[in-house]
Structures are given as C-alpha cells and as structure tokens.
Amino acid sequence: MIHDYYLSIRADESDIGELKKNLAEKKGEIREKIRDNVYFCYSFYPNPEDLQYLPKGSVLIKISFTLKKPYTSKDEGEFHIIDGKICENPIVKDKFTGFPMVRSSTWKGHLRFAAERIECEKLKRKEIISRLFGAESENEEKLKGRLYFFPTFFVCNPKKDVITPLKRDTRTPARGPISIEVMKAGSKGEFYLLYIPYPKGKNFEETQIEEDLNFLARALEFMFYTYGFS
C-alpha cells in the first residue's frame, strides 16, 4: 500500500521501490554537495570567546571522543541508500547537512541517567540534578536547568551492519538478518556542554557552582566510561 499521495499517482505498487531509490539518490547528491565543506557543522557549536558575554561562573566543556563500540540510533520515517540498496534502519542524520549525529536531547537523557547513579546523599543528589537538568516533577519549583546541550556531528560516513535477532529460549534466529546503519568503532566526535549558573533560584549560593561542576564531572565520567550512550 502506498501512503504518499504524490507517489501513488505516479507509480504502481511494482514501481514504488525504484521511485524510493531514485528519490534517496537525489537526496544524497544534494547532501554530498553540502558535505564538501566538512567544517560547516562546527558553526552549530559554541565558541570559547562567547563566554565573555555570559554570566560569571559559566563554563564551556568540550570532550573529543573515539567510539569504542559501534554506535547506532533510529531515524524514524527515513530511508537511505547504502551500496545501491535501500536501508530501512538508518542512523539519525541532520536534516540539513546529512551528517550522522547524536541529538542534544539524547545527550541530556544519558547524562541525567548517569547522574542519577552517582553515590551521594539522596536528597543532595536530587537537589543538584534538579539544578543542572531542571525540575522533573510537577511538585518541584519549575526552573530551567543550568546545562545547555549541543548535538554531535560525525563527519565520516556511517557503515552498514547486520544483526540477527535471537529467540530468548533457544538462542536461535527469530527472523532474518536486519541491516542497520552504524558509526563504526574508531569514529571520532566532539561533545559540547555549556554550564550557566542561572537560574539561581531562591537559595542560591556561590558555592553551588563548584558543587555543580564537581558533580557534573563525575556524571560525565560515568556516561562516557561506564554506561555509554546510544
């Protein structure tokens, strides 16, 4: 069944696969022209010089990392061409540049997950997490968090991989192999995170800045070295 009106008036069911392939190829050609300048994506990142315009105590964190294991993510409603074939499980890509990416919301979710597993007094941990990430409960004072996340772009092309789902009881293949896009181990990326000690809230103290940053350092270590991201 064809769910796109314009495709439906141009093709029969037998032609839909070829039309999808042609559209994906044209989309790829446009993106390749944009990607000729691989440094274009860095215009989305903050500049250290910008800190002079931010409140006192603001900190810009940059972490260059290399993937230890393949990274994959699900790009809903997209299809891409890999080696002349349609890939139904592409990695998330920026809609404009076509660069594979880790969304800022993904970073925030994984860093919060890591932060919640830091060993310290429960109420103190909850207080710091609320300051950094913002209030999560309706019962809490509704303040925006002090952390600002940015997407990470991979300037190299993703690769094709294949997984075979297994049955839990017999450990035999449940169905045929599934092709997916991944960033291979060894791919490099850059993580940017901006800390601004605002909003201050009712009980702000200067000591909170050091407390926030020490806690944040531990959370980042947990995320990158223990729990990972995907």
Ranges of each domain in the chain? 37-227
Listed residue (193, 162, 196) closest to 178, CA to CA: 162
What is the Cα–Cα distance from 216 to 171, expressed in whole angstroms?
A: 40
Least confident of 16-25, 52-61, 207-216: 16-25
pLDDT single digits (tens) 115-174: 999 999 999 999 999 999 998 766 556 678 999 999 999 988 888 887 777 777 777 666
What is the Cα–Cα distance from 211 to 208, expressed in whole angstroms?
A: 5
Average pLDDT of the residues in 1-21: 59
Asked if pLDDT for residue 212 goes beyond 70, the answer is yes
Q: Give the confidence band of 1 by pLDDT, cuts at 50, 70, 90.
A: very low
Asked if pLDDT for residue 16 goes beyond 80, the answer is no
- Cα 144 to chain centroid, rounded: 20
**Is residue 148 within 8 Å of 193, Cβ to Cβ?**
yes
